Structure 1
């Protein structure tokens, strides 16, 4: 991994070794991001059989896949960037699935993300990790802000300004108004399913813990990592006007969203992981929708445009 810097890079202070500082940053944020995941993985075998069962795993997995793809395929690639066109049934299904992530309503999510692209890593960006400067202390503060601090800001992106097209769509407005009941289903649906399947209150409780709390927490941190980590660490393979980067380790849990550099180079492209070996589960899902006839006019990568934007090795 490399760390993104301004071009030209600011002259470091004499007392600091830039290469050592980069390693220090990588170590710190590797711990911040990695330790909770390691702790979670370690907790699984200890809880297996009494606090975690296959019922919890299956319910959590299904809700993670549905809500995660609802965000990446629906909220992001379809509603925000128009990477493809969808039949009405798929449009509504994607809006419902994305709402189950509890990240925001479809209108607010789209407005924030469009504003992010307009001001990416510049003044006005809702969650740039570079908002406080380029020093170690500033980037540390910026990463924390970009990851989740920005969510506590009172000001929200203006829907009329950044999502006027969606405000004209009655289906989208209804989905926006239905966010609370959809969120309630996402919170309590797993517990209801767990209780009914096991016919016990304990089954309801463990399903709520793993398939609701852990599932939502994991999905949120993966999504927020695209805002924070993928704008500081990783590889730059395409020219973009910001500091977006690719972070391969997040590719699977983010459904391909962590191939973030190409996305910022070609925002409307339906595939973010366009190079060999770059797994993009969201693009694969869109391909299935296309073959089923549910999606059309898909904006797949153009080889000539990609070649023109490749960063020289």
Structure 2
């Protein structure tokens, strides 16, 4: 079986130019049409029902009688860890862009964490994201905000897109993923659903057990268990969804541009902070294979720091750092930004 080609941000733009400070907020392209075959809309009812149900239960967790500070802290911690290890490090930088390698036991473990966030199977997530890079902010892009913000954020998930049919995108974009029997099994046996169902009683049982051991009555312990379930599963999943969706929508509309790429990717400070580095999206489109997205000292990239830690302890190898061209352009930009006399210029 031949290896799949991993599309870069655009094959013909191999060395993006650094942008002068005055050009870093260049106006967006014109409005795009939706991807081919979308109209007339065919609603994806299973996805609509699940997404609406998770949001309703996440909101219910904040109602009196269900809310708990321990549950909220748990949700915030798991949002950070599941998003970092599952979506950012595993699905995106490892599987999609091959920016590093990990032992299979660690890779597969992180895949299970990613699937607990209910963001598609590995092969489908990778295939859709590779297609996005190939056609970023062009009509075939599955989720460009130039079609509309709502479309990029969630709308593209709620309707059928013929161009994203599983066989079609797998054949073109995910052959390498499906060489691993583990990923084939995930596709064939519905493990995305099973993982998300299995975690629910586990969270309830953990919350019930801790509360009961701390002396709560069985009724109170059951209520605590339900609170832990709602925060640990539903609130956490919804938060990870919106953080991931914000990378698709917000970072192609608002922010600054450090590199002249042929799409509208932006570096967005807020998304960069809450997404553990995924919001430095212009940097990423300029150098897609790099496992490091934050290029400046203040562009915090916790996912990159985690990768460096895994590399230091021998659990990550072949880590792809920013290319020599990107480093040279970044150094040049710092000199230009400060001016010949060392004084910063606007």
Tell me which interval the TM-score lies in, with the shorter structure as reference length.
0.7 to 0.9
Aligned with 1:197 (options 199, 210, 214): 210
Please tell me whether residue 160 in structure 1 is matched to residue 176 in structure 2: no
Q: Distance in 2 between matches of 1:94 and 1:269?
A: 19
Q: What's the TM-score once normalised by structure 2's chain length?
A: 0.71
Highest RCO, 1 vs 2 (Cα 8 Å, sep ≥ 6): 2
Distance 1:62 1:89 in 2: 23
Aligned pairs, number: 268
C-alpha spacing 1:246/1:185, structure 2 compared with 1 (3 Å): farther
* Number of the residue aligned with 1:286: 307
1:53 Cα offset (Å) = 3.3
1:59 aligns with 2:85: no
Aligned to 2:152: 146
Query: Residues 281 and 168 from structure 1, CA distance in 2 versus in 1: closer, same or farther, beyond 3 angstroms?
Result: same
Q: Would you identify which runs of 4 or more consecutive aligned residues in structure 1 move more than 4 Å? A: 309-313
The 8 Å contact of residues 67 and 99 in structure 1, kept in 2 or not, is answered as: no
| Offset of residue 153 of structure 1 | 2.4
User: In the TM superposition, what whole-angstrom CA distance separates every residue of 1:268-292 from its partner, at most 9, and x where no partner exists?
Assistant: 1101012111110111111111111
Contact 2:287–2:323 (Cα < 8 Å) also in 1: no
In 2, distance between residues paired with 1:95 and 1:175?
10
Provide the TM-score with structure 1 as the length reference: 0.78
Aligned partner of 2:125 in structure 1 is 109
Aligned to 2:261: 240
- 1:191-270 alignment runs, 5 A limit: 191-199=204-212, 200-270=221-291
Deviations 1:171-227 (A, max 9, x none): 222344422211223444333322222131111221122222221111111110100
Is residue 2:145 matched to residue 1:129? yes
Q: Distance in 1 between matches of 2:299 and 2:133?
A: 23
Structure 2, unmatched stretches of 5+, are 1-23, 32-57, 213-220, 338-346
Kept after mapping to 1: 8 A contact 2:268/2:280: yes
1:18-48: CA deviations, max 9, x gaps? xxxxxxxxxxxxxxxxxxxxxx9xx97x96x
Q: Distance in 2 between matches of 1:82 and 1:288?
A: 18
Q: 2:295 matched to which residue of 1?
A: 274
> Residue 99 of structure 2 aligns with which residue?
83
Of 73-82 and 171-180, the range deviating more from structure 2: 171-180
Unaligned segments of structure 1, at least 5 residues: 11-39, 132-141
**1:138 alignment counterpart:** none
Q: Does the Cα contact within 8 Å between 2:143 and 2:248 map onto a contact in 1?
A: yes
| Structure 2 contact 178–184 (Cα < 8 Å) conserved | yes
The alpha-carbon distance between structure 1 residues 187 and 128, as it changes in their structure 2 partners (threshold 3 A), is farther
- The offset of 1:119, in angstroms, is 0.4
Deviation track 1:41-72 (CA, whole Å, cap 9, x = no partner) reads xx97x96xx64334313432343233212100
CA contact (8 A) 1:60 1:210 kept: yes
The whole-number CA distance in structure 1 between the counterparts of 2:224 and 2:176 is 44
Q: Secondary structure at the match of 2:273?
A: coil
Measured after TM superposition, the shift of residue 77 of structure 1 is 0.4
Q: Which residue of 1 aligns with 2:136?
A: 120
